[in-house]
Structure 1
Amino acid sequence: MKKSYLFLVLLAALSFSCSNDDKPADEPVVIVPEEGEQPGEEQPAECLYYNGDAILTTQAEVDAFGANHYCGVMGNFYIGSQNGVSNITSLEPLKDIVTATGTGFTFTIKNNPNLVSLEGLHNIANVSKVLIENNASLLNLQGLRALTNFDEYGTLRINNNASLQNLTGLEAITKMRELLVTNNPALISCIGLKNCTEFGQLTISSSPQLATLNGITAATIGDLSLKDLGVASLSVLNGLTEADYISIEFLPNLTTLQGLEGLISVSGVSVRNNAGLTSLYGLQNLTGNVNSLVIEGNNAIVSVEHLLSVTSITNTLNGTNYLGGLTLRNNASLISLNGLQNIEQFSGNLYVTQNNALKNLCALQSILINKTSNSYVSVYDNLNPVTPTDIIAGNCSID
């Protein structure tokens, strides 16, 4: 049975109620922890956990919940309005809480337009999933500075916080399954991520004022997605040695992919709609097989020569369709495909289309000769109007 927490505020008298199949209403769970069992700056001798979902929608409810001195919440923990906006301005009354966790439970701070700081949460060390969303006045995450431990389901999502300037407060985190930082238009710094060495997934998007990735030092990132940022360089990613999928999209100030040289093997790369990108320098150390390679909508790129070490593009079937393959589409300045000639194994979808300056397609010969019989090929609307048959025959370049 889902447990719930509801506040009733009458004048100065505050009362709590919660439903629990196993205990009377209003009775907290009392746990006497062993030494060192629960992290936090201030730990009572008897640790009182709130057992159930705690939903605090007003400042009065925050104050009342804090007056009980709970050290943890064993359920979903929601601070803010679920349907509108809250009047919450301070989380200081929650300073006794050191954990808000449990398999699959989410700690949510949402729709608090007047909340400037997360102080009061500064003793919380253990969480499962965290969502920080639609807090228009929030400046930083300093109130999360004790946060160190996520369980195996651990995710942190930071979305739509109009005034958030940096990620300061996350320095104690060293490993994270998933971090999504999206649509925070005032974000200018990632410094708070400097001690995190591994991400299962890292997404930073829709933050056009973010001009640098300083602070990202992870050596391992499963999926990395950077989209709609003001970033001009990826050089701070030069410590990255392991990644599964890389997506670089809508970074208009980016001119090269320098910083990705440490990557030797990836499953997929997508480089799309980067208006200032002139080359793929940074990918020159990719060797062996890539499952999916997409170069699309980069109007300044003239060459793909930095892909010379890629020798295979293969992927598995999903029903009757391949997932992945090679796409070179709508790159207005791309002249030659030199750099692809060493690809001797190919299975998947091949799209080379709408490249208005593309004269030389000879590097596709090996792909077209060695591709699997069920690979799909589409070559059209390039400056050189050759067909796959022409390319195989050597009629593949124009002056």
Structure 2
Amino acid sequence: MNDEKRIQDALRRIRTAKKTGATLLDLGDLSLVELPKELGELTQLKVLALGNRRPSFEEDLLQWSQENERGTPRLLNISVINQLTELESLDLSWCKKITDLTPLQDLHSLQSLDLSGREGVIDLTPLQELHSLRSLVLSDCKEVTELRGLQGLQSLQSLDLNHCRGVIDLTPLQKLQTLQSLDLNSCRAVTDITGLKGLQSLRSLSLGGFGGVADITGLEVLSNLQSLDLSMRTELADLTILEELDSLQSLTLHLCTKVTDLSPLQNLDSLRYLDLDCCFGVTDLSGLQGLRSLQSLNLHMCKRVTELTGLRNLPSLQSLDLSGCEGVTDLSPLQELHALQSLKLTMCSGVSDLRGLQRVHTLQSLEVVGCWRVTNLSGLQELHSLQTLDLSCCSRLTDLTGIQGLRSLQSLDLTCTALTDLTGLRGLCALQSLKLNGYPGTNDLTPLQELLTLQSLEIIGFSEVTDLTPLQGLHTLRVLDIGGCTSVSDLRPLATLSSLQSLNFSWCAGVTDLAPLNELHSLRELDLSGCAGVSDLSPLEVVDSLESLTMRSFGHIHDLSPLLKLSRLKRVNMTCNQGSALFSPLKPILSQLDELFLWDSEFADLPKEVCGRQIDGNVIDRVREYYGIESL
């Protein structure tokens, strides 16, 4: 879209807003260089989006969502905004060229302002009269150095200075007595935080990021602080100052590699969330024993932890992440965690025996990913509350004995294990999601026929499976992936799966006939990439529910015209095609498509440069332009 069309689109939206009296206007997706003067006539506007964020109302609450695909804002001047005196929320995120903020100084109703991503030195003084402002975002304004322009913002509750690397002096913030949330992540030039002492309303403070603050003196007086982020403070070793923060509910110490002593935390009676991710110096967990309110504990990659006895007296703990704790071998101390619902043991290479979990009856989610010493599942049979179990990459797991009685289990991942027999899956009467991949010697899917509640099934790479008949009774199945089952040739057993919405049989070279898909009236997504035996797409003509079709490397298909009957088709992926098919038969449906991917494809009637140069590049606009079809 050229600049003239962008302006015309903006004027159309402005006229509509003026006619309807709309209080919200979004022009941020147009990448405008200048704002039409007519914008100043919308004096009723309360919300204006000119940056990278999209506004929407959900249950009468204004929500902003980041959308990088909106393009880079190119605005050079915002002077017309000074007429919009009723504005309450303004987004100028990543409008990099806007450094003059004087047009904002009379917007006395403004409550929320996003100025993130500014380039060059910015004078914040024009903001000092915005006495209604509650939220201000200045993240990634790397040239901001002086904060005195904020001293007059007596209603400010939230201030984001993330990545403001030029900021040194925090004393101008002392007068912001209503400030509740302050983000100073990656403010590398800030070394002294004593300027925050007067912020007695502060509830949330982020000081994460390499460099900068090494001394956290001054935090001890912030008695109302509930959330504190000190992540990546690699010079921080002593946590004694935190002893006074008895209102603290959330503490993040990610990558505080010099921390060894956790005992200063033991009297933080309100603490509910503690993140010690990658605290490589921690060996002793006994300092956590007094945290009776703690609900979530992250010990990911605390490689020097070997004993879990320090966790015994955590009666409220619901979530525990021990991923990467290579030194842990004994799980039995966890049996005293009577509230535990979620446990992650990913890459705990020292764990071989799961029997230490047998009394954790409250457990609902368990991840044992990559625990290569685990060979059997004895110890899990009593976990009757377990709903999710991930055993992927347990490369020595050969036996499923122990899970047959898990009648609450809804999701099971067994990819990259050493299973040869699927009979252990029988009895999982509540299972909704199952992931398997090709196990040598496995050719019988019969044990799956009893899993009548399955909604999602992945059985990828079972090269010896030929018969899909055991699946024909799985009437609740919505997602089926049999990609790489190279010996499968007959899809007729799938014709009874009336609830199926997504089907992938890519690289099933034995499949030749798509006729069984005629009965799948709920099918929305289909992937038949690399099915070298398929040459005729005409059976798809009656699958009018299809919205997404992926057929990479489809060299044996020459006639694409059957796709014209698919009135709901929105996405087509035909990348990596080296055949001689004609693309032009698809011209009539180009106007209905949202996404088209043709990377590394050759068509007899379409230049290769039109097909794009990126594997994930959507070329629908380029192809429409080639055929003279105007983009929507």
Task: Give your verdict on TM over 0.5.
Answer: yes
Shift of 1:251: 0.7
* 1:53 equivalent in structure 2: 205
Shift of 1:348: 1.7
Looking at structure 1, the residues matched to 352 and 424 of structure 2 have their Cα atoms a distance apart, in angstroms, of: 19
Scaled by the length of structure 2, what TM-score is found?
0.44
The answer on whether the counterparts of 2:468 and 2:494 sit within 8 Å (CA) in structure 1 is no
The answer on whether the counterparts of 2:377 and 2:401 sit within 8 Å (CA) in structure 1 is yes
Tell me the SS of whatever aligns to 2:379: helix
1:368 to 494, 508, 516: 494
* 2:475 equivalent in structure 1: 345
* 2:459 equivalent in structure 1: 328
2:225 to 52, 74, 77: 74
* 2:420 equivalent in structure 1: 278
Shift of 1:377: 4.3
Task: Go from structure 1 to structure 2 and tell me whether the alpha carbon gap of 1:25 and 1:227 turns closer, same or farther (over 3 Å shift).
Answer: closer
The answer on whether the counterparts of 1:296 and 1:330 sit within 8 Å (CA) in structure 2 is yes
Match runs of 1:106-121 below 5 Å: 106-121=250-265
1:138 to 282, 288, 299: 282
Looking at structure 1, the residues matched to 251 and 448 of structure 2 have their Cα atoms a distance apart, in angstroms, of: 44
Q: Deviations over 1:116-156 (max 9, x none)?
A: 33222222333232211222221242211122224xxx533
1:148 and 2:279 aligned = no
The structure where helix makes up a greater share of residues is 2
Larger-gyration structure (1/2): 2
* 2:347 equivalent in structure 1: 206
Q: Deviations over 1:347-366 (max 9, x none)?
A: 4233334246x68x99x87x
* 1:196 equivalent in structure 2: 337
Gaps of 5+ in 2: 1-156, 161-172, 180-194, 518-632
1:158 to 275, 290, 299: 299
Shift of 1:107: 0.4
Match runs of 1:236-315 below 5 Å: 236-274=379-417, 276-287=418-429, 290-299=431-440, 301=442, 303-314=444-455
Task: Go from structure 1 to structure 2 and tell me whether the alpha carbon gap of 1:114 and 1:368 turns closer, same or farther (over 3 Å shift).
Answer: same
Looking at structure 2, the residues matched to 233 and 71 of structure 1 have their Cα atoms a distance apart, in angstroms, of: 51
Letter in 2 for 1:196: L
Task: Go from structure 1 to structure 2 and tell me whether the alpha carbon gap of 1:138 and 1:299 turns closer, same or farther (over 3 Å shift).
Answer: farther
Looking at structure 2, the residues matched to 312 and 386 of structure 1 have their Cα atoms a distance apart, in angstroms, of: 30
Gaps of 5+ in 1: 5-16, 30-48, 315-324, 392-399
* 1:8 equivalent in structure 2: none
Looking at structure 2, the residues matched to 197 and 298 of structure 1 have their Cα atoms a distance apart, in angstroms, of: 37
Letter in 2 for 1:100: L
Q: Deviations over 1:17-43 (max 9, x none)?
A: 9776169975797xxxxxxxxxxxxxx
Looking at structure 2, the residues matched to 93 and 376 of structure 1 have their Cα atoms a distance apart, in angstroms, of: 55
The structure where strand makes up a greater share of residues is 1
Shift of 1:379: 4.6
Looking at structure 2, the residues matched to 233 and 175 of structure 1 have their Cα atoms a distance apart, in angstroms, of: 30
Shift of 1:265: 3.9
* 2:248 equivalent in structure 1: 100
1:354 to 477, 480, 484: 484
Moved more, 221-230 or 53-62: 53-62
The answer on whether the counterparts of 1:54 and 1:73 sit within 8 Å (CA) in structure 2 is no
Q: Deviations over 1:85-138 (max 9, x none)?
A: 2151x445655665521xxxx301233323333222222333232211222221
The answer on whether the counterparts of 1:189 and 1:214 sit within 8 Å (CA) in structure 2 is no
* 2:154 equivalent in structure 1: none
Letter in 2 for 1:227: V
* 2:266 equivalent in structure 1: 122
Task: Go from structure 1 to structure 2 and tell me whether the alpha carbon gap of 1:198 and 1:272 turns closer, same or farther (over 3 Å shift).
Answer: farther
The answer on whether the counterparts of 1:244 and 1:268 sit within 8 Å (CA) in structure 2 is yes
Looking at structure 1, the residues matched to 287 and 175 of structure 2 have their Cα atoms a distance apart, in angstroms, of: 30
The answer on whether the counterparts of 1:124 and 1:147 sit within 8 Å (CA) in structure 2 is yes
Shift of 1:174: 4.0
* 1:219 equivalent in structure 2: 361
Task: Go from structure 1 to structure 2 and tell me whether the alpha carbon gap of 1:127 and 1:279 turns closer, same or farther (over 3 Å shift).
Answer: farther
Q: Deviations over 1:146-169 (max 9, x none)?
A: 22224xxx5332223332334432
Looking at structure 2, the residues matched to 258 and 58 of structure 1 have their Cα atoms a distance apart, in angstroms, of: 53
Looking at structure 2, the residues matched to 291 and 263 of structure 1 have their Cα atoms a distance apart, in angstroms, of: 13
Tell me the SS of whatever aligns to 1:193: helix
Tell me the SS of whatever aligns to 1:53: strand
2:177 to 21, 27, 49: 21
Moved more, 70-79 or 112-121: 70-79
Task: Go from structure 1 to structure 2 and tell me whether the alpha carbon gap of 1:380 and 1:134 turns closer, same or farther (over 3 Å shift).
Answer: closer
Task: Go from structure 1 to structure 2 and tell me whether the alpha carbon gap of 1:79 and 1:382 turns closer, same or farther (over 3 Å shift).
Answer: closer
The answer on whether the counterparts of 2:485 and 2:505 sit within 8 Å (CA) in structure 1 is no
Shift of 1:272: 0.8
Q: Deviations over 1:284-310 (max 9, x none)?
A: 22126x433221244465654544532
Aligned pair count?
331
Tell me the SS of whatever aligns to 1:327: strand
Q: Deviations over 1:160-193 (max 9, x none)?
A: 3332334432222345454333333444343442
The answer on whether the counterparts of 1:3 and 1:18 sit within 8 Å (CA) in structure 2 is no
Looking at structure 2, the residues matched to 387 and 173 of structure 1 have their Cα atoms a distance apart, in angstroms, of: 59
Letter in 2 for 1:329: I
The answer on whether the counterparts of 2:197 and 2:222 sit within 8 Å (CA) in structure 1 is no
RMSD: 4.4
Moved more, 49-58 or 250-259: 49-58
Letter in 2 for 1:331: F
The answer on whether the counterparts of 2:276 and 2:300 sit within 8 Å (CA) in structure 1 is yes
* 1:397 equivalent in structure 2: none
Q: Which structure is richer in relative contact order (CA contacts within 8 A, separation 6 or more)?
A: 1
Tell me the SS of whatever aligns to 1:169: helix
Looking at structure 1, the residues matched to 362 and 298 of structure 2 have their Cα atoms a distance apart, in angstroms, of: 19
